[in-house]
Structure 1
Amino acid sequence: MPNGEYLRYVALGDSQTEGLGDGDDTVGLRGFADRFAAHVAAVNPGLQYANLAVRGRLAGQVRAEQLGPALDLRPDLATVVAGVNDILRPRFDAAEVAGHLEEMFAALTGAGARVATVTFPDLSVLVPLARPVAPRIADLNDRIRAAAARHGVAVAETARPVAVTDPRMWTTDRLHASPVGHARIAAALAHAVGLPGSDDTWTHPLPSRPAAPGGSTVAAELRWAAAFLGPWLGRRLRGRSSGDGRTAKRPALLPPAITIDRAGSSGP
């Protein structure tokens, strides 16, 4: 199929791909995959799109649960984004996680799909308490780049632009992208795969805004830990996941549900 012409896009991953932070379970989730589908559909009006992602999934679970169904859908375009949940676990093996990603890269490209993935920003810039995981992120990003190069996978380098660590790109939990962040990731993927009309404006800083009032960093971190870190650790200790009992929000190929507005971001 000529470059940039796609009929079937399938997204594999965890909560970011599912769309947490962009909408909610009441009104419905959008997320970067929905928004990227809109970019693709803008130049491929007949596009059909499926999203197999489920929040909380580790990279090995994404491979075990989503790769087979994805291949059954015969995609000519796929995104694979997973690994952050692994990074945050007490035991982390970067080679093992990258191996799961590479198996998906190999299977999907071997089936004829154009595949794209992302690198991950340094969470410690947003969450000072996460400084110990910074080396894990850097290690996994290097392995993602190497695996992607071996299989001709496009990489959206969302780890690198300074704009990525702007707090406005993230929700209050600092782990999931905000609507603005999801829109930027979608634009980064469009640029990575060379969609017509895409460019590097996704890397540009957000418009400046007045400085926020000063406050206690320690107090802010304690509030964040109580609101988000505590519940997350509680689920881990109980052997639970935010994705328990959940299934893919969009398991079948359907036309994308959102469009691109004049400003280049996706909307309902």
Structure 2
Amino acid sequence: MNQVHRIRSMVALGDSFTEGMCDTVLPDGHYRGWADRVAERLAAELARAEDGAEFRYANLAVRGKLIGQIADEQGDAAVALGGELVTLAGGLNDVMRPGCDLDHVERTLGGLAEKLAVGARQVVMFYSVDPSRRMRGSARIMPQTLRLQRFVGDLARRHDNIAVVDLFHLRAFDDPRMWAEDRLHFSAEGHRRVAEAVLQALGFEPEFDWREPLPPAPPVPRIGKLRADLRWLRVHVGPWVLRRLTGKSSGDGRPAKRPTLDRFPA
């Protein structure tokens, strides 16, 4: 087995994307997101290569966090944990807010990425999914989204141990079935594909083509679409708007689901 596959520890930083919010909840109440799936594969590969070897995994990501909060609340902790593989995703929550200071986002994200790259064997970052093909009103954030993408690409070109997973140009993620009911977070299938994309970026042999579109879906009656839209507005959009108006976040007071670098699977 290629030595790059013998990763003994992983630390994940970020917001809801990395926390793993989706439509699949584990018995302990946490979500099974792409980072958890990557950790599962790394643990299995390490166990096959070195009988009895223990893989360790921490996930510091918390939903709703802005890049400054990720840097302040997760950065030093991640450095102290010293994972061989570190994943970093952040900045999109900032970009989605009116009046985003993108200079601040780039300084903070870049400083954090470079600090992590010093101690990690491999850092993985992301180009976010293109919102313009899926979300109404997202045209206003496209210039910032593209600028942030260029910034992340420049970071990777300056550091041999930073890899970028490109989700932006993949049309398969336009499919509604890739998304959970809230239409903001991936479904289980979406997370499965992101995990495969990360593993292939790390040099693993493909288990499936994560870029392949899903088979055509059966048509949904107009009344079914209307009911789904009304439920989405009531259950997801309304609470989100209320949080924005009151200055609250879905991650306020919420701890990381795996704050320490523990054996995984337990």
Structure 1, unpaired ranges of 5+: 259-268
**What corresponds to 1:23 in structure 2?**
24
2: CA distance, partners of 1:38 / 1:29: 14
- 1:183 CA drift (Å): 0.8
Give the alignment partner of residue 117 of structure 2, picking from 82, 90, 109: 109
Call closer, same or farther: CA 1:93–1:219 in 2, change over 3 Å. farther
Query: Is 1:3 equivalent to 2:4 in the alignment?
Result: yes
- 1:184-223 to 2 correspondence within 5 Å? 184-195=193-204, 197-198=205-206, 201-214=209-222
Counterpart of 1:6, as a letter, is I
1: CA distance, partners of 2:206 / 2:262: 23
2: CA distance, partners of 1:186 / 1:105: 20
Give the alignment partner of residue 75 of structure 2, picking from 57, 61, 67: 67
- 1:117-266 to 2 correspondence within 5 Å? 117-152=125-160, 153-195=162-204, 197-198=205-206, 201-214=209-222, 224-257=232-265
1: CA distance, partners of 2:225 / 2:24: 28
| TM-score when normalising by structure 1 | 0.87
- 1:238 CA drift (Å): 1.0
2: CA distance, partners of 1:256 / 1:139: 37
Contact 1:36 1:187 in 2 (8 A): yes
SS at match of 1:44: helix
| TM-score when normalising by structure 2 | 0.87
2: CA distance, partners of 1:218 / 1:96: 40
Contact 1:188 1:200 in 2 (8 A): no
**What corresponds to 1:33 in structure 2?**
35
Call closer, same or farther: CA 1:72–1:231 in 2, change over 3 Å. same
- 1:135 CA drift (Å): 2.6
**What corresponds to 1:97 in structure 2?**
105
The two structures, once aligned, show a CA RMSD in angstroms of 2.4
Call closer, same or farther: CA 1:98–1:42 in 2, change over 3 Å. farther
**What corresponds to 1:265 in structure 2?**
none
2: CA distance, partners of 1:135 / 1:215: 36
2: CA distance, partners of 1:234 / 1:174: 18
Structure 2, unpaired ranges of 5+: 48-53
Contact 1:11 1:50 in 2 (8 A): yes
- 1:165 CA drift (Å): 1.4
Counterpart of 2:46, as a letter, is N
Alignment identity in percent?
Answer: 39
- 1:51 CA drift (Å): 0.4
Query: Is 1:78 equivalent to 2:91 in the alignment?
Result: no
